[in-house]
């Protein structure tokens, strides 16, 4: 099936209409489960879970909540639920090692379409009958249908994926960058600089005031998604260029947008804004640097319990933070480079769920039952919020509010156990968007960022239709991507560091050389493969609001 008939990603009307129609198909959870019989012989269901290496998080494969799932789901249907740890920073290697050992989990999950496409090409995933899936998991199917996701479940003429929901997918408000407002005030700023020239001036003044030697901090390049150059692309977008160069899994080295992004990185490095040893700084070290006053900003997902901010205020009791605001207009700096408010939107679906090609019929059915059970409102609420009086309490409006810094027997996994319920939805939900934001921001800190995040949400909502750019997705198998991706990611790491740290007068020559090497290493073949998919109608399309007039 080609992607030519896909709905426009930013179009909300069609989704609302679908929701009304699909609502009539929702089946009561008890009725669904009454149709399930325990398996005659025990079935082992192996489910992946990210091992993020975060301090203080319970063992991801064995904790109160994995046991709760076993007791309330597995035992009931004679299913043994085993959780398989997947290294979050190197997902593809984790799955490749499991495949080489012929030990893939029953369910394979990831957020990025190219990764799932690679697994299809490599034979990791089985195709399945969506009607059979609907029979076992009618509510999960109805939700996919209501969200307009069914066209995204196929590659070619075969169905491979079930898709989690992704509320507010084009707003991205759950990721926030916190900056040192107290430093800015000390050097004469009453606002967070968003324009390039102001930013450079503020960083220089922070350095000169002795507040921080390298305020830009920095972290090592880790691979997929390292450089998102959406704001540096020419706007409105040429749709073919977007299809050929817009995927973030393989940075588009050689494009003007990538050139400008790296030119800025080179300038920051040579001005001493970036830590000269950034290439040795991993995620935990970057966090520690922010806490210890060695970096101006830190980006992370918000949640009701944010140990990084708790530690920050304990270390810096007189500090003041601010959230980096939404950029709403173009900025052309003294270097002649223009940036726009464009940013990478998430896909209109959350986690993509596939099933192992080695799964038996019973294991496949158990996986579908697991997805359906997880989307039960009571189950999902309990997984997201935990135990009343322990993990959360109800406020005066009857809404759940998580207990900050909870460390008792029922301690949840990372981000309110999100890695367990991500197979159903990408975010917690209770009440209005203001209620949701209130429930997912910390309230045990010297500063409360709830209103800041709400303001961020509505500012993003105003510009999302024009500037929230989703990556192009490809319905055909991308064999060149599978063959060359890892080599290109490794080469890009080398190029990125060299181009960041070289002398400014060497930048252009080195950029061209790496571009040539990158194309020779397979990127040129990938671009041609993407072009062919676009011309054959096997890709998504840009919303009209983002597309240049033909």
Residues 5, 9, 13, 15, CA torsion sign: positive
pLDDT at 347: 86
Cβ distance 167 to 149 under 8 Å? no
| Residue 40 located in a structural domain | yes
Cβ distance 447 to 323 under 8 Å? no
Specify which residues 177 forms β-bridges with: 299
- CATH code for position 367: 3.40.190.10
Return d(Cα 244, Cα 235) in angstroms, integer: 16
Nearest residue to 302 via CA among 428, 406, 424, 397: 428
| Residue 459 located in a structural domain | no
Return d(Cα 486, Cα 474) in angstroms, integer: 19
DSSP 3-state percent helix, strand, coil across the chain (nearest 5) = 45, 15, 40
DSSP β-ladder status, 79-87 and 43-51? parallel
pLDDT at 155: 84
Q: Which residues contact 244 (CB under 8 A, 6 or more apart)?
A: 527, 530, 531, 534
Give how many domains the chain has, as a whole number. 1
Neighbours of 490 (CB within 10 A): 12
Specify which residues 474 forms β-bridges with: 539
DSSP code string of 362-409:
HHHHHHHHHHHHHTSHHHHHHHHH--BTTTEEE-TTS-EEEPTT--ST
Q: Which residues contact 361 (CB under 8 A, 6 or more apart)?
A: none
Query: Measured between alpha carbons, how far is residue 532 from residues 247, 516, 526 in Å?
Result: 15, 22, 10
| Residue 74 located in a structural domain | yes
| Residue 67 located in a structural domain | yes
Cβ distance 335 to 12 under 8 Å? no
Q: Which residues contact 466 (CB under 8 A, 6 or more apart)?
A: 545, 546
Element (H, E) at 33: helix 29-34
pLDDT at 221: 87
Cβ distance 230 to 343 under 8 Å? yes
Specify which residues 352 forms β-bridges with: 110, 163
| Residue 150 located in a structural domain | yes
| Residue 359 located in a structural domain | yes
pLDDT at 223: 64
| Residue 35 located in a structural domain | yes
Query: Measured between alpha carbons, how far is residue 385 from residues 5, 272, 288, 304 in Å?
Result: 38, 44, 28, 10
Q: ω into residue 236 within 30 of 0, thus cis?
A: yes
Return d(Cα 550, Cα 547) in angstroms, integer: 9
Return d(Cα 451, Cα 416) in angstroms, integer: 21
pLDDT at 249: 82
- Spans of the chain below 50 pLDDT: 1-24
Domain of residue 57, residue span = 28-166+348-421
- pTM here? 0.73
Total residue count of the chain as it appears in this document = 550
Q: Which residues of 462-479 are buried (b: 16+ CB within 10 A; e: fewer)?
A: ebbbbbbbbbbbbbbbbe
Return d(Cα 143, Cα 158) in angstroms, integer: 20
Element (H, E) at 310: helix 307-315
Phi, psi of 294 (to 5 degrees): -105, 15
| Residue 296 located in a structural domain | no
Cβ distance 481 to 539 under 8 Å? no
């Amino acid at each position: 099936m080609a992607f030519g008939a896909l709905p426009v990603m930013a179009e909300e009307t069609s989704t609302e209409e679908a929701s009304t129609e699909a609502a009539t198909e929702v089946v009561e959870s008890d009725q669904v489960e009454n149709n399930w019989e325990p398996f005659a012989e025990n079935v082992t269901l192996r489910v992946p879970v990210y091992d993020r290496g975060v301090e203080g998080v319970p063992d991801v494969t064995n904790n109160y909540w994995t046991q709760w799932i076993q007791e309330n789901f597995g035992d009931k249907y004679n299913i043994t639920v085993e959780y398989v740890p997947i290294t979050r920073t190197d997902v593809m290697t984790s799955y490749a090692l499991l495949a080489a050992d012929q030990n893939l989990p029953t369910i394979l999950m990831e957020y990025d379409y190219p990764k799932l496409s690679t697994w299809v090409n490599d034979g990791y995933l089985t195709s399945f009958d969506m009607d059979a899936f609907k029979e076992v998991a009618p509510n999960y199917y109805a939700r996919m249908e209501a969200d307009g996701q069914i066209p995204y479940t196929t590659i070619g003429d075969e169905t491979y994926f079930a898709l989690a929901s992704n509320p507010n997918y084009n707003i991205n408000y759950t990721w926030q960058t916190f900056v040192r407002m107290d430093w800015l005030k000390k050097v004469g700023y009453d606002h967070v600089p968003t324009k390039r020239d102001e930013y450079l001036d503020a960083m220089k003044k922070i350095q000169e005031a002795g507040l921080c030697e390298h305020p830009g901090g920095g972290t090592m390049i880790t691979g997929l998604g390292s450089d998102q150059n959406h704001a540096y692309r020419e706007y409105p977008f040429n749709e073919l260029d977007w299809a050929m160069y817009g995927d973030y899994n393989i940075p588009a080295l050689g494009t003007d947008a990538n050139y400008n992004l790296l030119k800025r990185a080179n300038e920051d490095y040579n001005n001493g804004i970036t830590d000269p040893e950034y290439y040795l700084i991993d995620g935990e070290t970057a966090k520690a640097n922010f806490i210890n006053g060695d970096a101006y900003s830190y980006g992370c997902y918000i949640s009701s319990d944010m140990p990084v901010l708790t530690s920050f205020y304990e270390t810096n009791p007189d500090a003041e933070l601010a959230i980096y605001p939404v950029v709403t207009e173009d900025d052309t700096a003294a270097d002649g480079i223009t940036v726009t408010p464009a940013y990478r939107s998430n896909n209109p679906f959350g986690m993509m769920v596939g099933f192992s090609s080695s799964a038996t019929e019973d294991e496949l059915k158990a996986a579908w039952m697991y997805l359906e059970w997880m989307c039960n409102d009571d189950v999902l609420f309990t997984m997201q919020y935990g135990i009343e009086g322990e993990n959360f309490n109800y406020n005066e409006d009857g809404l759940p509010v998580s207990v900050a810094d909870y460390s008792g027997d029922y301690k949840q996994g990372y981000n309110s156990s999100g890695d367990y319920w991500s197979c159903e939805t990408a975010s917690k939900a209770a009440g209005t968007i203001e209620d949701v934001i209130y429930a997912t921001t910390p309230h045990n800190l010297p500063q409360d960022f709830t209103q800041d995040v709400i303001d961020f949400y509505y500012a993003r909502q105003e510009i999302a239709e024009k500037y929230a750019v989703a990556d192009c997705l490809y319905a055909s198998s991308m064999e060149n991507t599978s063959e060359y991706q890892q080599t290109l990611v490794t080469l890009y790491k080398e190029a990125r560091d060299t181009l960041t740290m070289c002398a400014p007068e060497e930048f252009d020559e080195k950029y061209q050389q790496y571009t040539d090497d990158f194309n020779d290493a397979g990127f040129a073949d990938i671009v041609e493969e993407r072009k062919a998919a676009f011309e054959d109608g096997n890709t998504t399309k840009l919303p009209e609001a983002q597309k240049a007039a033909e």
